[in-house]
Amino acid sequence: MENRFDAKLLKLFHNKSLNSFLKYSLRYKGWMVGVIILSTITSLASAVPAWLSKYLIDDVLVSKNAKAMILVLAGIFISTLIKVVTDYYAEISSSFVTEKIRRDIKVDVFSHLQNLPIAYYKKNKLGDIMARLSGDSSTLGRIGFMLFDMLKEFLTVLALLFRMFQVDFVLALVSLTVLPAIFSVVKKYTKKIRKSGRIRQDTMGGVTAFMQESLSGVGVIKAFNNSEVIIEKYKDITQDEFNKIIKANKIKAKISPINELLATMMILIVAGYGGYQIIVKGNMTAGDLVSFVTAVGLMQQPLKRLVRRNGELQEALPSADRVIEILDEEKENDCITEEIKSMKNPIKSISFENVDFTYDDGKKLVLKDFNLTVKAGEVVALVGQSGSGKTTLVNLIPRFYDVTSGNIKIDDIDIREFSLKEYRNHIGIVPQETFLFSGTIADNIGFGKKGVSRDKIIEAAKMANAYKFIEELPDGFETEVGERGVLLSGGQKQRIAIARALIQNPDIMILDEATSALDTESERLVQEALDKLMVGRTTFVIAHRLSTIVNADKIVVMKHGEIKEVGTHEELMRYNGPYRSLYEIQFGEQKQVIETEEIEIDYV
Which residues constitute the domain of residue 501? 439-505
Instruction: Determine, yes or no, domain membership for 337.
Output: no
Measuring CA to CA, which residue among 104, 140, 149 is closest to residue 21? 140
Q: Are 153 and 233 part of one and the same domain?
A: yes
Q: Which of 59-63, 145-149, 506-510, 599-603 has the lowest mean pLDDT?
A: 599-603
DSSP string across 363-390: SS-SEEEEEEEEETT-EEEEE-STTSSH
Which run of H or of E encompasses 131? helix 126-131
Residue 1 has pLDDT above 50, yes or no: no
Is residue 318 located within the same domain as residue 443?
A: no
pLDDT of residue 25: 80
Spatial separation of the C-alpha atoms in residues 271 and 168, rounded to whole Å: 13
Beta bridge partners of 381: 541, 555
Does residue 493 share a domain with residue 536? Answer: no
Question: Would you say residue 124 lies in a domain?
Answer: yes
Counted domains in the chain: 3
What is the arithmetic mean of pLDDT over 289-299?
A: 77
Mean pLDDT of the region 102-122: 83
State whether 312 and 363 are in the same domain: no
The pLDDT score that the predictor gives to residue 98 is: 80
- DSSP characters over 470-536: HHHSTTGGG-B--GGGTTS-HHHHHHHHHHHHHTT--SEEEEESTTTTS-HHHHHHHHHHHHHHHTT
Of 452, 472, 505, the position where a domain reaches its end is: 505
Give me the pLDDT at residue 165, please: 85
Check whether residue 240 and residue 252 sit in a common domain. yes
Average pLDDT over residues 456-480: 87
| CA dihedral of 264, 265, 266, 272, whole degrees rounded to 10 | 110
Residue 313: CATH number of its domain: 1.20.1560.10
501 shares a domain with 512: no
126 falls within a domain? yes
Does residue 429 sit in helix, strand or coil? strand
Instruction: Give the number of other Cβ atoms within 10 Å of residue 220's Cβ.
Output: 10
Q: Kindly tell me if the per-residue pLDDT of 210 is higher than 80.
A: no
Angstrom distances, CA of residue 103 to CA of 99, 131, 134, 310 = 6, 16, 11, 23
pLDDT-derived band at 254, boundaries 50, 70, 90:
low
Q: Tell me, yes or no, whether 378 and 307 share the same domain.
A: no
**pTM for the full predicted model:** 0.71
Q: Are residues 119 and 227 in the same domain?
A: yes
- Report d(CA 536, CA 541) in Å as an integer: 15
pLDDT per residue over 499-549, tens digit each?
888 888 888 988 887 666 566 666 677 777 777 778 888 999 887 778 778
> Are the C-beta atoms of residues 370 and 561 closer than 8 Å to each other?
yes
pLDDT in tens, 536-583: 889 998 877 787 788 889 999 998 889 999 999 998 988 888 888 888
| Per-residue pLDDT, 218 | 66
Q: Which residue, of 473, 505, 537, is where some domain finishes?
A: 505
Residue 333 lies in a domain: no
Whether 344 is covered by a domain: the verdict is no
Please report, rounded to a whole number, the percentage of residues in the chain having pLDDT higher than 70.
Answer: 78
Sign of CA dihedral 426, 429, 435, 438: positive
> Please, are residues 530 and 511 in contact by the beta-carbon 8 Å criterion?
yes
Distance of CA 589 to the CA centre of its chain: 47
Higher pLDDT, residue 200 or 49: 49
Angle between helices 286-328 and 179-216 (to 10 degrees): 30
Mean pLDDT of 239-250: 75
Q: Are residues 481 and 588 in the same domain?
A: no
**Count, residues in the chain:** 604
pLDDT in tens, 408-435: 999 889 999 998 888 888 888 888 777 8
**Together in a domain, 307 and 181:** yes
342 within some domain: no
Same domain, 319 and 359: no
The answer as to whether 340 is a domain residue is no
Burial degree of 524 (CB within 10 A; 0-12, 13-18, 19+): middle
What CATH number does the domain containing 388 carry? 3.40.50.300
Same domain, residue pair 542 and 576: yes
> Do the domain assignments include residue 579?
yes
Asked which of 505, 535, 559 is the last residue of a domain, the reply is 505
